[in-house]
Amino acid sequence: DTAVSQTPKYLVTQMGNDKSIKCEQNLGHDTMYWYKQDSKKFLKIMFSYNNKELIINETVPNRFSPKSPDKAHLNLHINSLELGDSAVYFCASSQEGATTEAFFGQGTRLTVV
């Protein structure tokens, strides 16, 4: 039973398009995250979100926006895609105060052509 699942696993799209990546967790966690792993393999936090606050990494362009329809989902919307957005995007979740670690999805490889 997958704890954190993302769809799609692979996404190829043209520059200028708008796309979404979905993420769901069945762990009952209260905080979800989006990370970007670029060509240099650096895992960089983009957003963290719980029912109290959204924390945005200030370096993330405003073309990226997280949308949380409920506690178990945090989707990533990307507008006007650019070549430089090509990367692997990971969703993760954790429970404040209860666990020390974050649990990750399998990643979505986004390729912008």
Partner 1 sequence: DQQVKQNSPSLSVQEGRISILNCDYTNSMFDYFLWYKKYPAEGPTFLISISSIKDKNEDGRFTVFLNKSAKHLSLHIVPSQPGDSAVYFCAARFGNQFYFGTGTSLTVIP
Question: Total residues at the site for partner 1 (CB under 8 A)?
Answer: 25
Query: Angle CA(51)–CA(56)–CA(60) in degrees, nearest 5?
Result: 145
Residues 6+ apart with CB under 8 A from 22: 6, 7, 73, 75
C-beta of residue 57 within 8 angstroms of C-beta of residue 112? no
Q: Which of 64, 90, 110, 112 binds partner 1 (CB under 8 A)?
A: 90
Site membership for partner 1, residue 42 (CB under 8 A):
yes
Q: Describe the strand order of the beta sheet including 4-7 as a list of residue ranges.
A: 4-7, 19-25, 75-78, 64-67
Compare residues 37 and 79 and give the one whose CB is closer to partner 1. 37
Which positions from 48 through 77 interact with partner 1, judged by CB under 8 A?
48, 50, 55
Residue 84, φ and ψ in degrees, nearest 5:
-70, -10
Choose, by CB under 8 A, the member of 40, 51, 83, 113 that binds partner 1: 40
Q: Which stretch binds partner 1 (CB under 8 A): 14-22, 39-47, 62-70, 71-79?
A: 39-47
Binding site for partner 1 (CB under 8 A): 4, 31, 33, 35, 40-45, 48, 50, 55, 90, 92, 94, 96, 100-107
